Amino acid sequence: MPAAAIALTVLLGLLAVFQLALALGAPLGRFAWGGAHRVLPARLRVGSLIAIVIYAVIALLALDRAGLVDLVPEPVSVVGMWVAFAYFVVGIPLNAISRSRAERLTMTPVVAVLALLSLLVALG
């Protein structure tokens, strides 16, 4: 399980860098938020910043659940990882039905991998 937690954390870190680039105005909008904007408008840039915070919380929960850090009580990391798993499972069809072909082809498999890794971590 530590390997799954580390892999999950690395992938979330890469996504955080991507979301930061979007928040700073990088023209990568076709890969996120429905792909309707080349450069995200202000409200979606805020959404990207919120996503970074969510990714950080999930990464910390995963590392805690795997026993690599001790930040929260065990029940919090157990429940938190199941919530993260559900969050990623919901993200699979949402990305799969995106109007953006780039988002469908790129983010659907990424979210599926996140779901699998979070399931492995949640199972402990």
pLDDT at 1 (0 to 100): 78
CA 27 to the chain's CA centroid:
20
What is the 8-class DSSP label of residue 28?
A: -
Sorted by sequence, the CB contacts under 8 Å of residue 68 that are 6+ apart come out as 2, 5, 6
Domain count, the chain: 1
Are 48 and 23 spatial neighbours (Cβ–Cβ below 8 Å)?
yes
Sorted by sequence, the CB contacts under 8 Å of residue 17 that are 6+ apart come out as none
What is the chain's pLDDT, residue by residue, as a tens digit (124 residues)? 799 999 999 999 999 999 999 999 999 999 999 999 999 999 999 999 999 999 999 999 999 999 999 999 999 999 999 999 999 999 999 999 999 999 999 999 999 999 999 999 999 9
| Structural domain boundaries, residue 49 | 2-123
Q: Model pTM? A: 0.94
Find, among 7, 88, 103, 5, the residue nearest to 54 by Cα: 88
Integer Cα distance of 124 and 78 in angstroms: 8
Integer Cα distance of 108 and 36 in angstroms: 17
Taking residue 32's Cβ as centre, other Cβ atoms within 10 Å add up to: 26
Integer Cα distance of 50 and 40 in angstroms: 14
